[in-house]
A = this chain, B = another copy of it.
Amino acid sequence: MKSAFDKIAAGLEDAIAYAKGDDSRGRVATVDVKAVREATALTQAAFARTYHFPIGTLRDWEQGRRNPDAGSAMLLKMIQVDPKGVERIIAKVA
């Protein structure tokens, strides 16, 4: 398991990676998907199941290979600020 220090270090590295991201053109700010998920303390598989994201797509996002589109980005941000609230609404959907 990682030490608290290692986790913080990893978090900083993620942040720096994002800061270095392109963004030089028309695209809007993206979302730190990994950070959102880790805040929920769920594994990728569990997070994917909980919020109905395809796991392969979630992987791409976390690894920075792809960026979520506006709709998915919005949902991710919603999970970030109110994970339980989102879960409650999803329960009504499913």
Residues of A at under 8 Å CB distance from B? 51-54, 57, 68-72, 74-78, 80-82, 85-86, 88-90, 92-93
Write out the residue numbers on chain B whose beta carbons fall within 8 Å of the beta carbon of A93. 74, 77-78, 80-81
Kindly list chain B residues whose C-beta atoms are within 8 Å of the C-beta of A89: 78, 81-82, 85-86
Q: Are A82 and B92 in contact (CB under 8 A)?
A: yes
Nearest-Cβ distance from residue A49 to partner chain B, whole angstroms: 12
Main secondary structure of the interface of A (DSSP, over half): helix
User: CA–CA, A54 to B72, complex, Å?
Assistant: 12
How distant is the Cα of A19 from the Cα of B34 in the complex, in angstroms? 37
Chain B residue numbers with a CB within 8 Å of A76 are: 71
What are 26 residue pairs bridging A and B, where the CB atoms are less than 8 Å apart in the complex?
A51-B74, A52-B70, A52-B74, A53-B71, A53-B74, A54-B70, A57-B69, A57-B70, A69-B71, A69-B72, A71-B72, A71-B76, A74-B75, A74-B90, A75-B75, A75-B78, A77-B93, A78-B86, A78-B89, A78-B90, A78-B93, A81-B92, A81-B93, A82-B92, A85-B85, A85-B88
